[in-house]
């Protein structure tokens, strides 16, 4: 039986992905910063799929020592990790376009430093095993979007990090992948006040992630195709055109 560890598995994309891996007979470990949310998640999952192979472990990824402890607990007491899905993130849209340093620090701590702490401990255990570390970033990381400075900054850094580690971790025999979902209906995106184009369910995202991780060799897993493809085009536009499009879209 293979094992996946999913950070941020108590809700949204992480929760739905845990469910689909369980259905496919994987051993699944979900973690998040809140044990109560994890217990509730397990109960909700229990209604749909057998949770005999589900483990829940509290792990606040912004706490380096906690991350180290949990990863060695999984590896030593539960099972060797075949896939680490680094999905946990904090999100807070900046509706008023005010520069809020506390929000920048929070998102840096969770989304970026947290991801780094996980990778740092995972690499010691996973090297030489030809397994996968997958980082859930976002197409927002391709370019700077209005009202998304803090979140976008962390996602851009994750994307750049994944690209670098794709090369560097080859010598450790660890496969690094990045996952870039379009708009997915979760607790996070409920905070958005704008209409999200091509909004998809967390179950849709989970299916794409499952098949991308298990069946395909691609570095990037992205979905839904059309919206992410448009953002990819925006990525290569000259600044003048890029800024003009945003001006037309939202008077930014």
Ligand X SMILES: NC(=O)c1ccc[n+]([C@@H]2O[C@H](COP(=O)([O-])OP(=O)(O)OC[C@H]3O[C@@H](n4cnc5c(N)ncnc54)[C@H](OP(=O)(O)O)[C@@H]3O)[C@@H](O)[C@H]2O)c1
**Residues near ligand X, by CB under 6 A:** 7-14, 32-34, 37, 60-62, 87-90, 110, 114, 136, 138, 181, 183-184, 186-189
Minimum CB–partner distance for residue 72 and ligand X (Å) = 17
Q: Which is nearer to ligand X, 34 or 173 (CB)?
A: 34
Q: Which is nearer to ligand X, 58 or 129 (CB)?
A: 58
Q: Which is nearer to ligand X, 226 or 244 (CB)?
A: 226
Spell out the alpha helix ranges (H) of the chain: 12-23, 35-46, 64-73, 101-107, 114-126, 149-168, 202-214, 225-235, 239-250
DSSP code of 179? Answer: E
Query: Rounded distance, CA 114 to CA 85, Å?
Result: 13
Q: Which is nearer to ligand X, 60 or 82 (CB)?
A: 60
Residue nearest to ligand X (CB): 12
Spatial contact of 127 and 174, defined as CB atoms under 8 Å apart? yes
Q: Which is nearer to ligand X, 25 or 218 (CB)?
A: 218
Minimum CB–partner distance for residue 19 and ligand X (Å) = 13
Minimum CB–partner distance for residue 22 and ligand X (Å) = 16
Query: Rounded distance, CA 28 to CA 244, Å?
Result: 46
Minimum CB–partner distance for residue 24 and ligand X (Å) = 20
Residue where the block lists tokens 């991801």: 115
Minimum CB–partner distance for residue 110 and ligand X (Å) = 4
Q: Which two tokens stand for residue 107?
A: 């998102």
Query: Rounded distance, CA 197 to CA 237, Å?
Result: 21
């Amino acid at each position: 039986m293979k094992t996946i560890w999913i950070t941020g598995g108590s809700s949204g994309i992480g929760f739905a992905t845990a469910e689909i891996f369980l259905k496919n007979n994987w051993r699944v470990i979900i973690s998040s910063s809140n044990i109560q949310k994890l217990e509730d998640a397990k109960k909700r999952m229990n209604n749909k799929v057998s949770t005999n192979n589900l483990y829940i472990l509290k792990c606040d990824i912004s706490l380096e020592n906690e991350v180290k402890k949990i990863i060695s607990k999984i590896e030593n007491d539960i099972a060797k990790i075949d896939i680490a899905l680094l999905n946990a993130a904090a999100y807070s849209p900046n509706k008023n376009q005010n520069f809020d340093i506390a929000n920048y620090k929070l998102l840096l701590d969770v989304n970026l430093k947290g991801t780094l702490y996980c990778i740092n401990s995972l690499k010691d255990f996973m090297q030489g095993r030809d397994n996968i570390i997958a980082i859930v970033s976002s197409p927002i990381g391709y370019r700077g979007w209005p009202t998304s400075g803090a979140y976008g900054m962390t996602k851009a850094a994750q994307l750049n990090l994944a690209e670098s580690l794709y090369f560097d971790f080859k010598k450790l025999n660890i496969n690094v992948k990045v996952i870039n979902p379009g708009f997915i209906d979760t607790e996070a995106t409920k905070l958005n006040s704008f209409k999200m184009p091509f909004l998809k369910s967390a179950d849709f995202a989970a299916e794409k992630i499952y098949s991308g991780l298990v069946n395909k060799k691609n570095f990037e897993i992205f979905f839904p195709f059309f919206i992410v493809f448009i953002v990819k085009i925006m990525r290569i536009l000259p600044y003048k055109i890029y800024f003009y499009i945003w001006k037309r879209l939202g008077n930014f």
